[in-house]
Amino acid sequence: MRSLPLLVAALWAGTVSAVPAKGASSCVTPSKPSVLPSSFKWTSTGPLIGPKDDGRNLAGIKDPTIVQVNGTYHVFASTAKAEGYNLVYLNFTSLAAAPSAPFYYLDQSPIGTGYRAAPQVFYFAPHKLWYLVYQNGNAAYSTNPDISNPAGWTAPQVFYPAGMPSIISSNIGNGYWVDMWVICDAQTCHLFSSDDNGHLYRSQTKVADFPAGMSEPVIVMEDTANIYALWEASLVYSVKGGKGEQKYLLVIEAIGSDSERYFRAWTSDKIDGTWKALADTEANPFARANNVVFEEGVAAWTKSISHGEVVRTSVDQRLEIDPCGIRFLYQGMDPKASGGEYNALPWRLGLITQTNSAC
């Protein structure tokens, strides 16, 4: 899967410039198509969200998921320290207010204590409920009618009541089953997950049956020669105005040849379709130290652009994102602090904004 990306990207770039997308309304320049570019450039803030001096003694805040609705950003993230993981919620109305936003630790809610990590939040319109999807050893979820009421999340339930599916246990090797991600189209809800062993999995169930009925997963992509190239933190979005092979965007976190984290990207016409390279190399990544510059006056505080999420303003289960000026909340870390116990690393959250939108 790593052999043809430049050729595919070149063919793809030729295709889009020849066929402008119709009906794209949100772009500043209407004559250009509302599609993803074949390379990306970003500007980053400094660290915006980190552990507080509140007696919890957290080492890091990680794995954020973020929506912006009615003027408020809602962020859910993992709390990490050597002893393990749980979840936190915070909200703010401007990025400037993010560092001082109060934390609501979700172990105070019915989500409870113990291992919970890597949340994804979305509004499942058919149920009029918010879903928080996360890992707890299984693929878990909680629901809440009001995203502003963090005490209102239900106790964890799981997508795979029989435990880890056999295709995962037989492929996981020494990896971990992580980073569950749900996206639905009109008929089907899909559940992606990774195994830190070079495999991306996908299950599905009918929208009408969700969250029950997840099928045995299939392997969507694999790289067994370099498991680090297809590591974890997969994200799948529908692209507003995206046509043909540009309808869905897949982003996966990799560990690069420099040992730093970065993101690779593919596109497809269907969630269960074939993923074609968009920006999937170290030289032409989705987001990596080599295509991220820091805002004026902000020190280059991280070399890793790691686990995070596009800021979504369309909040329902279709996970539609606007390709015109993507904003992405990610985890980064002082490179000097990168040794030692993984769970105790000092991850902080920062935001990158795309500066080379094709729109």
* Interface residues toward ligand NAG, by CB under 6 A: 69-70, 72, 91, 102, 104, 147-148, 150
In DSSP terms, 156 is beta-bridged to: none
Which of 309, 354, 325 shows the shortest CA–CA distance to 78?
Answer: 309
Residue with Cβ nearer ligand NAG (75 or 220): 75
Report in angstroms how near the CB of residue 25 gets to ligand NAG at its nearest: 22
Q: Burial of 353 by CB count in 10 Å (0-12 exposed, 13-18 middle, 19+ buried)?
A: middle
Residue with Cβ nearer ligand NAG (147 or 230): 147
146 CB-near residues (< 8 Å, 6+ apart): 130, 152
Report in angstroms how near the CB of residue 119 gets to ligand NAG at its nearest: 15
Residue with Cβ nearer ligand NAG (102 or 340): 102
Residue type at 30 in one-letter notation: P
Residue nearest to ligand NAG (CB): 148
Report in angstroms how near the CB of residue 251 gets to ligand NAG at its nearest: 25
Burial 166-202 (b: 16+ CB within 10 A, else e): ebbeebbeebebbbbbbbbbeebbbbbbbbbbbbbbb
Report in angstroms how near the CB of residue 72 gets to ligand NAG at its nearest: 5
Helix/strand/coil percentages in the chain, nearest 5: 15, 40, 50
81 CB-near residues (< 8 Å, 6+ apart): 56, 57, 58, 59, 60, 343, 344
Report in angstroms how near the CB of residue 104 gets to ligand NAG at its nearest: 4
**Parallel, antiparallel, or unpaired: how do β-strands 60-69 and 72-81 relate?**
antiparallel
Report in angstroms how near the CB of residue 152 gets to ligand NAG at its nearest: 10
Residue with Cβ nearer ligand NAG (98 or 227): 98
Whether residue 307 contacts residue 330, with contact meaning beta carbons closer than 8 Å, is answered with yes
Report in angstroms how near the CB of residue 286 gets to ligand NAG at its nearest: 28
Q: For residues 334 and 318, what is the distance between their CA atoms, to the nearest angstrom?
A: 35
Find the radius of gyration of the CA atoms of the chain: 19
Q: For residues 131 and 115, what is the distance between their CA atoms, to the nearest angstrom?
A: 18
Residue with Cβ nearer ligand NAG (147 or 235): 147
Report in angstroms how near the CB of residue 93 gets to ligand NAG at its nearest: 8
Residue with Cβ nearer ligand NAG (114 or 145): 145
265 CB-near residues (< 8 Å, 6+ apart): 36, 40, 249, 250, 251, 252, 278, 279, 280, 285, 286
